[in-house]
């Protein structure tokens, strides 16, 4: 199969679309103009669509007879950061940039829409989901809460991420965990304030905090089995306002990543044990607020993705041995409701990292991504 020639013929047009989106980044759920652009394209293709969630939309394309529905999901929000690139299509909005490739993700799905508008020779239904708010704004949850899985019978869902460090002609497919869970915690430590010269009449919370930080950093090497993966990071500590004063309260914030729900449970329990133990040791009060933000992204149909990827880039260019990423993806919420797979498509070995001020989506993989989606349709419909 290889790269679909008709998709390849759309390359120059779609590259211009991608760069237009890159120049006009929108953050979080506020993707109004991006949605407007996508709708104008779908209108031109004669494809119907409906609003869903918050500034997200889903297009529905029916083929021939068949009751199987395959959904393809892409994200389209940018990040709140300044761009340091100096090419002509750099961001035109200060403090906002597409540093994670979502401009290319949604353009790949526009490319698929353009092709399917002329070729509906498949049996079943294809859904194209353009999602806002992936970057920590619960965009996927807003789509689900708005009844996505009640409005549509979704048998399979597929998605992808442009991946730095991997060559453009390669596609990585994970069996099982692909992206990590993300949890966040706060530990409020309350002691007794007083003058810094008289700690004996105080109950210093910072001493307790020091052991909390040390304690949570020992959870992974001491409790998580060596064949499992987990990350616990302390990200913020806030407390005190005087150079010569011991404060009443100190706040510790942290971030947790895992690749299995069992290890997720273990770490949450262990953070609580550390906080409780330190409270007893130092005679302070500790209050733990632990929030589970994203589940583990688990691929359930990697075999379908492997076959589809092999049709596009060749078996030798399908990577199945890469470790799962400790970054999180809210696509994981969709995988709690249906079967599917999320793949990585190489953005280039010399690509800047994701969330870097010099990142740019590699336009050369637009036809690779769209052709991969077409190969999935061929496999299932």
Asked whether the beta carbons of 39 and 142 are under 8 A apart, the reply is: no
Give the integer Cα–Cα distance in Å for 260 and 163. Answer: 22
186, pLDDT greater than 90: yes
pLDDT band at 203 (very low <50, low <70, confident <90, very high): confident
Per CATH, which fold does 181-294 belong to?
Alpha-Beta Plaits (3.30.70)
Q: In which band, very low, low, confident or very high, does the pLDDT at 290 lie, cut at 50, 70 and 90?
A: very high
Tell me, what's the pLDDT at 341?
A: 98
Domain boundaries defined on the chain: 5-180+296-380, 181-294
Sequence-distant (6+) residues with CB within 8 A of 121 are 63, 64
The per-residue pLDDT for range 209-224, each reduced to its tens digit, is 999 999 999 999 999 9
Q: Which pLDDT does position 191 carry in this prediction?
A: 86
Mean pLDDT within 225-248: 91
pLDDT number for residue 196: 84
Fold match between domain 5-180+296-380 and domain 181-294? no
DSSP 135-172: TTS-HHHHHHHTTHHHHS--SEEEEEEEEETS-TT-EE
pLDDT for position 312: 96
Q: Has residue 315 got a pLDDT over 90? A: yes
Fold of 5-180+296-380: Aminopeptidase (3.40.630)
Quickly state the pLDDT bin for 36 (edges 50, 70, 90): very high
Instruction: Inform me whether the pLDDT recorded for 1 exceeds 80.
Output: no
């Amino acid at each position: 199969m290889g790269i679909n020639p008709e998709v390849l013929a759309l390359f120059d047009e779609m590259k211009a679309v991608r760069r237009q989106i890159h120049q006009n980044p929108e953050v979080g759920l506020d993707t109004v103009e991006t949605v407007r652009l996508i709708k104008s394209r779908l209108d031109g293709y004669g494809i119907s669509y409906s609003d869903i969630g918050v500034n997200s939309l889903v297009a529905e394309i029916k083929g021939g007879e068949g009751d199987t529905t395959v959904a393809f999901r892409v994200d389209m929000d940018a990040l709140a950061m300044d761009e340091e690139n100096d090419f002509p299509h750099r961001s035109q909005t200060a403090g906002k940039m597409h540093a994670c490739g979502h401009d290319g993700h949604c353009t790949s799905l526009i490319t698929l829409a353009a092709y399917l508008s002329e070729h509906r020779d498949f049996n079943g239904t294809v859904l194209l989901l353009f999602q806002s708010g992936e970057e920590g704004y619960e965009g996927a949850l807003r789509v689900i809460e708005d009844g996505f899985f009640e409005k549509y019978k979704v048998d399979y869902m597929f998605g992808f991420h442009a991946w730095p460090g991997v060559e453009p002609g390669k596609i990585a497919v994970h069996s099982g965990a692909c992206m990590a869970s993300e949890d966040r915690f706060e530990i409020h430590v309350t002691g007794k304030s007083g003058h810094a010269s008289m700690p004996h009449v105080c109950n210093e919370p910072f001493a307790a905090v020091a052991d909390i930080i040390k304690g949570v950093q020992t959870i992974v090497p001491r409790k998580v089995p060596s064949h499992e993966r987990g990350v616990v990071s302390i990200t913020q500590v806030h407390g005190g306002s005087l150079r010569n004063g011991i404060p009443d309260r100190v706040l510790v914030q942290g971030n947790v990543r895992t690749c299995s729900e069992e290890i997720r449970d273990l770490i949450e329990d262990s953070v609580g044990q550390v906080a409780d133990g330190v409270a007893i040791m130092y005679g302070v009060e500790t209050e733990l607020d632990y929030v589970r933000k994203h589940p583990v992204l688990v691929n359930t149909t990697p075999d379908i993705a492997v076959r589809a990827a092999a049709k596009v880039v060749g078996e030798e260019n399908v990577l199945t041995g890469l470790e799962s990423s400790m970054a999180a993806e809210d696509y994981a919420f969709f995988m709690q409701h249906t079967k599917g797979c999320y793949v990585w498509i190489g953005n280039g070995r010399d690509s800047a990292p994701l969330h870097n001020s010099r990142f740019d989506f590699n336009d050369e993989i637009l036809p690779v991504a769209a052709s991969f989606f077409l190969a999935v349709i061929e496999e299932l419909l």
